[in-house]
Amino acid sequence: MNKDYFFCGVGGSGMLPLAMMVQARGNRISGSDRALDQGRTPEKFDWLRAHGVTLFAQDGSGVTGPDQVVVATGAVEDTVPDIGAARRVGATILTRPQLLSQIFNSAPTSIGVAGTSGKSTITGMIAWILHAAGRDPSVVNGAVMKNFADADHPFASALVGSPDLFIAEVDESDGSIARYDASVAVVSNISLDHKSMEELRDLFGGFTERAGRAVLNLDNTETAALAQILPLDRVTTFSLSDPEADLSAHELEPMPAGMKFRLHISGEAPRAAVLNVPGAHNVANALAALAAVRALGVGMDEAVAALKGFAGMRRRLEVVGTAHGVTVIDDFAHNPDKIAATLKTLHAFDGRLLILFQPHGFGPLKLMQDEFIEGFAGLMRTDDVLIMPEPVYYGGTTDRSVGSEDIARGVRSAGRQAQALPTREGCGERLLEMARPGDRVLVMGARDDTLSSFASELLACIAARPHTEQS
C-alpha cells in the first residue's frame, strides 16, 4: 500500500484499468503515454488528471527514484526512455502481466477469461451478472463496459470491488496467460492470431490444467480438444450446436439490436433468454459467461435475468449513429474470427456494408494474410466495399513486406470490391463519396483509440451534407 507506481503507456486499454485498480488499493499513480505526447485522445488524459494521475512526457522525466514501481507492457525495451530511466535510478520494473497476475492470483476466487475472440465481452457479461447478484467483483477488462460507464467514469474498463473475487481478461498474444492460476478458466475459442497453433495449444492447455474448473466451447475444434483431455468433473462445456454440451442455445432469433434464444442446461428445464447485443457470437459469449458464474453458485434464473440488462462493450458493434439513412458502426474486430462474427451479424439484415478495416499491425497482417483475404472474400456480398488504409505503425523495426494493398488485391481477385489507400483520411473521403441511404459504414480495427473519433467524424460529415447528396 501507498507505493508510487509509474505506468508507461497509462492510457492504453490494458494499462488504464490496471492503473485504476492499483490506485483504488491506496497507491499513488503517475504515468506517460505516447498518445499524450502526440496529442491524441486528449479527453482521456484530462480524465486521468482529474482522477489523481500525474502525467509526464514519455521521456524518462517521470521516473526519478528507486522507490518507484515502473509498469510497462509485456515487451520491456531499454529504448523506451522511461525504462532506461528506471534502470538508471534502480526502480523496480514490472510488466503489466506480472502486476495483473499478482493481483489476480492473490484473490481467493478468480475467473480468467481467455480466447482468440470474445474475451472482453464475456468478461463484461460475467462482471454484470456478478454485480447484479451482489457479489461485488473486482474486474479488469480490455474494453469499456457500458453498464458501468457514466459521466464520471467514461473509461469504465475496470470495476473496483472486493479483492476476494477477481475477474480478468487474460492474454495469450504475449504468452502472459501462463502466469494466471484461475479458479475458473474460460476459453472462448482458439485460432491463429499472434502465435503459431503449437504455441497456442501449449498456452491454453496449461491455463486450463491449472484451473479449478475449465469452461470450454465445443464449437471450436481446439477448445473441444481441451475438453477431451481434462478430467470430466473439472470441465463445463457450452455450444450453439451440440446438444451434448452442458449449456447450449437453440431457436436463435436475431433482432435488430439483440438476440432471443432457448437456453438448455443439463438436468434443467429450458429457459427463454434475451440479449440486447446482436449476433450469434454474442449468444456463445453469453453461454460462456453463464457457465462461469454457475461455477460460482449463481442461480441461472438470476443470471439470465441479469443478462437481459447487459448493455454491451464500447467498440463492439457499437452504433455511433444514423444520418440521412446511413448508419455508422464502430467495431474492434481485427482478426479473421472477429471480422467473420461482425460481418455475419450485420448480414442478418439488409443494407450494403462499406467497410473500413485498419489492420492492427504489419506483423499480424503478414501472419494472417491468407485468412484475411479468405474471410473478406467469403463473407462480403457483391455490393459490399472494403476500404483499407495502411496498418497501424508507431515506429520501430518490423517487417513491412505485406501491406493493405496485398489484402485488397486478394479480395478483388476473388470477385469482391476492395481497395487500399495510403491514408485513413483518404479512406474516409472515399467512404463519404460512396455512402447512400440504407448503407452501413463499418469502422474496424484495434490498437488505435482514434478510430472511434474517426467514426464519429464520418457520421458528422454525413449529417452535415444536404439530403439531396444522399439520394
Q: What is the pLDDT of residues 62-109, one digit of tens each?
A: 999 999 999 998 655 667 899 999 999 999 999 998 999 999 999 999
CB atoms within 10 A of CB 232: 8
In terms of pLDDT, which residue wins out, 42 or 292?
292
Condensed to tens digits (0 to 9), the pLDDT of residues 197-240 reads 778 888 888 899 999 999 999 999 999 999 999 999 999 999 99
Q: Between 5 and 278, whose confidence is greater?
A: 5
In the chain, pLDDT over 70 holds for what percent of residues?
94
pLDDT for res 214: 96
Query: Is the confidence at residue 253, as pLDDT, over 50?
Result: yes
Q: Which long-range contacts (CB under 8 A, 24 or more apart) does 25-28 make?
A: 25/1, 25/163, 26/1, 26/2, 27/1, 27/2, 27/3, 28/2, 28/3, 28/4
Residue 452, pLDDT score: 86
Average per-residue pLDDT for the chain: 89
**DSSP 8-state secondary structure symbol assigned to residue 150:** B
Q: 280 falls in which pLDDT band (50, 70, 90)?
A: confident
**By the 8 A CB rule, do 213 and 238 touch?**
no
> By percentage, how much of the chain surpasses pLDDT 90?
58
